[in-house]
Amino acid sequence: MQSSSESDPRARPKPHTFYPPKNSPFVLGVVKSLIKTAIWKQLRVSHIEIDEESLQKLRRLRGHRCLLTPSHSGGFEPHIIMYLSKLLRDDYNFVAAVELFEQSRFNRWLMPRMGVYSILRGAADRPSFSMTRQLLASGKRWLVIFPEGQTIWQNSIVIPFQQGTFQLAFKGLEDARKEEPNASLFCIPMAIKYVYINDMHAELDASLSRLESKLDIQYDAPPKSRYARLRRVADKVLGANEKVRGIHPAPGCSVDERIQGMKLHVVNDFERRLHLSSNHDKSLLDRIRALFNAVDRIVYEDPEGSEYEQQLASEQQDAARKLYDDLWRLLQFVAVYDGYVSESMTIERFMDVLGILETEISKERKIWGPRKALLKVGDPIDLRDHIEAYSKDKKSSIKYITLEVEARVRALLDDLGTDCAKVQDVMTSN
């Protein structure tokens, strides 16, 4: 399965085309026969561990309508779910960003035949919404949706789920109940985490050395620890971004305060440039999502009016496209905070941050390995148990289910974190 990391993650789709699923048992069989090889080559994952209790939870739901809602913080989770479907001898449908289809003709041919259909994120993509409702109502195949919407490449964090996923789930259940009054629809929380198998300290040191070289970092005395080196690299990157944006933090500001200040500065600036009102009651992530939506509307609306008006609109579209780079950078750093590594000094968290910094500086995503993927399934939620409350107050019910599934996924991810190795926080030369 293709991943957004296989090409420029900042690429955005052409004017919207909906790509429906064209389920092909032959194509899917070929893909499943190759999925383990693809997982190793692209993810550096040698094996996948799923506990028996998780498998039994899924087997008991066979024949029911199900929506799988996995975590998406590592960037390659569709590969793991495809392997899961092979293991359970089942076929799933997937929702994927339309950018992936637009990467190549091969993708546009292959992905629908794998059961994948497109969505233009952040837009009223009515054909995609209709397909989601149809698939959930029919229940012939389980549907996989990643409610986080984006990946931030920090494998120990779940970012807030989008309520639209569960709004469509309730609507799909409503559609099903027109033909089957007692129909159920199970939302299944799932967490996926990648854990390194071998000692990664040599790769960690090599990455730090690359970053220090590119940032022209030199030390008067040997640094006390790897974490001290990481802090110096991060401070240098933060300082460079502050300088280019004309941000002057107050003396004595902590790193977290500086990071948050830069994010807010960029968001406020973008909202001003796009003529959006600043809603400080919303989370920073929701405000960034709104910025993406605003840029998409400019880029993909059809220019109207006179030839001159269309020329001006075209120039505005060209200018808006240039904002995507900064928006993707902002999204990638949205969950970065100073304590991400120090609060749990694991190899996985350390390498997560190094990967983000390498991508920012070298424009190349580093995938280290070998590692294993851990998958854990939580207790499902049957939306039938909440349909009465939904009929009385749709907004509150959707919000409740969204937060409940999100909390269960986060708890699963925390449980999987106990398998992570701690960083030996000393220099190799010590």
What is the pTM (predicted TM-score) of this model? 0.84
What mean pLDDT do residues 106-133 have? 90
Of 49 and 291, the structure prediction assigns the larger pLDDT to 49
Mean pLDDT is lowest, of 82-96, 123-137, 144-158, 393-407, for: 144-158
What mean pLDDT do residues 38-42 have? 92
Answer whether residue 410 shows pLDDT above 80. Answer: yes
Give the whole-number percent of the chain exceeding pLDDT 70.
Answer: 92
E strand intervals along 243-352: none
Residue 426, pLDDT score: 60
**Please, which pLDDT band fits residue 428 given cuts at 50, 70 and 90?**
very low
- Positions of CATH 3.40.1130 in the chain: 4-198+369-419
Answer whether residue 219 shows pLDDT above 70. Answer: yes
What mean pLDDT do residues 89-97 have? 94
Residue 2, pLDDT score: 44
Answer whether residue 427 shows pLDDT above 70. Answer: no
Whether residue 13 contacts residue 122, with contact meaning beta carbons closer than 8 Å, is answered with no
Instruction: Say which CATH class 4-198+369-419 falls into.
Output: alpha beta
Give the whole-number percent of the chain exceeding pLDDT 90.
Answer: 50
Residue 94, pLDDT score: 97
The greatest distance separating any two alpha carbons of the chain, rounded to the nearest whole angstrom, comes to 74
Return d(Cα 43, Cα 367) in angstroms, integer. 7
Residue 164, pLDDT score: 93
What mean pLDDT do residues 277-306 have? 78
Answer whether residue 59 shows pLDDT above 80. Answer: yes
Residue 12, pLDDT score: 46
Residue 388, pLDDT score: 96
- pLDDT tens for each residue of 150-189: 777 778 888 889 999 999 999 999 999 999 999 999 999 9
**Please, which pLDDT band fits residue 273 given cuts at 50, 70 and 90?**
confident
Residue 278, pLDDT score: 80
Q: Which helix (H) or strand (E) holds 377?
A: strand 371-377
What mean pLDDT do residues 16-21 have? 86
- C-alpha dihedral (34, 40, 43, 44), degrees to nearest 10: 180
The two tokens of residue 294 are 């605003």
Residue 425, pLDDT score: 66
Answer whether residue 318 shows pLDDT above 80. Answer: yes
Return d(Cα 273, Cα 290) in angstroms, integer. 13
Answer whether residue 277 shows pLDDT above 80. Answer: yes
Answer whether residue 315 shows pLDDT above 90. Answer: no
Q: Which helix (H) or strand (E) holds 233?
A: helix 226-244
What mean pLDDT do residues 299-314 have? 80
Residue 122, pLDDT score: 63
Residue 46, pLDDT score: 94
Pairing of strands 371-377, 45-50: parallel
What mean pLDDT do residues 11-32 have? 82
